[in-house]
Amino acid sequence: MTFGTMIAQKKQDDPTFLPQIPRCPLLQYKMEATFNGIPMIGKPDAIDLDNFILRDYKTGKKDWDKKRADETDQLTMYLMLVYIIHKIPPEKFTCWIDWMQTMEDENFNLSFVEPIEENIKHFKTKRTMADILHFGKYINDTVKKMQEFINKKEIA
């Protein structure tokens, strides 16, 4: 995660860094909202609220593919926040996972797989309001289970 955070920060600070990965007007755009009394915070790597584009930059050794991009809840959470704050339905957005393949050397140092240009993959994905509602149920169920766990510990 540290390597990915460093790359996202460099992408934000240096407009010439990794030009193969499209930018959006808002980088590391912090969104805060409350859902059913639950505070939520999200910072998508790149978002364009006027042209309805959401991009998440990924680094890592584990391959990203279309299926993984379609299933990641991170984009769903960001679009849930966009809907709560800006009232823009998720169907309007085109989402992208931009994956930069990394490798680890014998000293556990991470770096990009070279040549970088050939090892960047872009996966287009979409979300629907049904996805947002399902994710909201998941959040509610998780918080409920957490509270039940706390209550059991207090009784013991």
* Nearest Cα to Cα of residue 101 among 15, 12, 22, 20: 20
* Nearest Cα to Cα of residue 116 among 26, 34, 38, 7: 7
Could you tell me where the beta strands, DSSP code E, fall in 19-137? 26-27, 31-35, 38-42, 46-48, 53-60, 94-104, 110-112, 120-125
Which of the two residues, 60 and 146, has the higher pLDDT score?
146
Percent above pLDDT 90 for the chain? 65
Mean pLDDT of 95-104: 90
* Nearest Cα to Cα of residue 43 among 88, 85, 3: 85
Rounded distance between C-alpha atoms, residue 90 and residue 18, angstroms: 27
Q: What is the distance between the terminal CA atoms of the chain, rounded to a whole angstrom?
A: 37
Question: CATH class for domain 2-155?
Answer: alpha beta
Q: State if pTM tops 0.85.
A: yes
Q: How confident is the model at residue 140 (pLDDT cuts 50, 70, 90)?
A: very high
What is the predicted pLDDT for the residue at 117? 77
**Predicted confidence (pLDDT) per residue in 41-82, tens digit:** 999 999 999 999 999 999 888 899 999 999 999 999 999 999
Supply the DSSP symbol for 115: S
**Predicted confidence (pLDDT) per residue in 13-50, tens digit:** 888 888 888 999 999 999 999 999 999 999 999 999 99
